[in-house]
Amino acid sequence: MDPSYFVLGVDPPPRAPPFAMLGASPNPFRASTRIRYSLADWANVSLEVYDVLGRQVSKRELGLLPPGEHDAVLDREGLSTSVYLVRVRARDPASGALKGNLTAKVMHLK
| C-alpha–C-alpha distance, residues 78 and 80, integer Å | 7
| The three-state (H, E, C) secondary structure of 41-97, written as one string | CCEEEEEEEECCCCCEEEEEEEEEECCEEEEEEEECCCCCCEEEEEEEEEECCCCCC
Number of domains the chain is built from: 1
Strand-pairing partners, residue 36, are 23, 71
Domain hosting residue 76, numbered range: 20-108
- 94: in domain: yes
In this structure, the dihedral spanned by the alpha carbons of residues 84, 61, 69 and 54, taken in order and rounded to 10 degrees, is 20
Domain containing residue 100: CATH number = 2.60.40.2550
Q: How confident is the model over 65-81, as pLDDT tens digits?
A: 999 999 999 999 889 99
pLDDT at 82 over 70: yes
- 3: in domain: no
| C-alpha–C-alpha distance, residues 1 and 76, integer Å | 65
- 7: in domain: no
- 1: in domain: no
- 103: in domain: yes
Q: How confident is the model over 19-76, as pLDDT tens digits?
A: 899 999 999 999 999 999 999 999 999 999 999 999 999 999 999 999 999 999 999 9
Q: Quote the pLDDT of residue 14.
A: 65
- 8: in domain: no
